[in-house]
Each structure stands twice: as structure tokens, then as C-alpha cells.
Amino acid sequence: MPEKTVEEFIRLGFKAVVVSAKAELFSKDFIGREVDLQLLEELIKRKICPCGENGEFHTFVVDGPMFKKRIEIVKSRPVFKKGFWRHWFLDILEYRSVEK
């Protein structure tokens, strides 16, 4: 089950942020959010696959148990793009790697 996969991802200490999302499903405020239990619950309530398996959204893993450093997004902005689908994207303008 996708819910269990995301729960385990979070429980194991991985951190990810949403970097792309279909505009028909999500507002620009969804972009840049951390994948956490609150986000998981929201997706379940909206009947959206918590893993984004239908292309609803995409994430970027910024930390995990095997990472020597974590990635900190210092400055970013949501960008709207029209193409085959209308999507919001996270434009990462500045980042740094941080010792753990």
C-alpha cells in the first residue's frame, strides 16, 4: 500500500520536498512542502496516491539515513508552467549541503 510506503519512508528518517505538482490538483502553496505525516493525511483524504504514482506530484529527497550531509534549500520560488499539463515547479535558487 502506498500509505505504508510513505509512512516507512518518514519513519526511517528520510526527508523530501515537493518539487512539481499538477496545477489542476494543487495550488502553488503545495510546492516546497515537506513530505510528512500531515501531508500524507491530506493526500489520503483527497484520494491522491501518497506516492504520486499517477504523476500528481514529484519530490526531491534532501536527507536520509545514509546521507553524509543534508541538502538545505535556502531560497526557492514556485513557478507555473503550461505544457502537456499545467504544473507548478519549485525553482531552487540557492541551496547548501550541511553536515549532520
Q: What is the pLDDT of residues 76-95, one digit of tens each?
A: 999 999 988 899 999 999 99
The stretches of the chain forming alpha helices (DSSP H) are: 2-11, 37-45
Residue type, 67: F
User: Per-residue pLDDT for 22 more than 90?
Assistant: yes
Domains (ranges, CATH) in the chain? 2-99 (3.90.1490.10)
pLDDT at res. 83: 82
CB proximity list for 46: less than 8 A, separation 6 or greater? 25
* 73 and 61 Cβ atoms separated by less than 8 Å: no
Helices (H) and strands (E) in the chain, counts: 2, 4
pLDDT score recorded for residue 27? 95
18 pLDDT more than 90: yes
With bands split at pLDDT 50, 70 and 90, how would you rate the model's confidence at 23?
Answer: very high
For residue 54, pLDDT beyond 90: no
Residue 15 CA to residue 51 CA, distance in Å, equals 14
Cβ neighbours of residue 8 under 8 Å, at least 6 residues apart? none
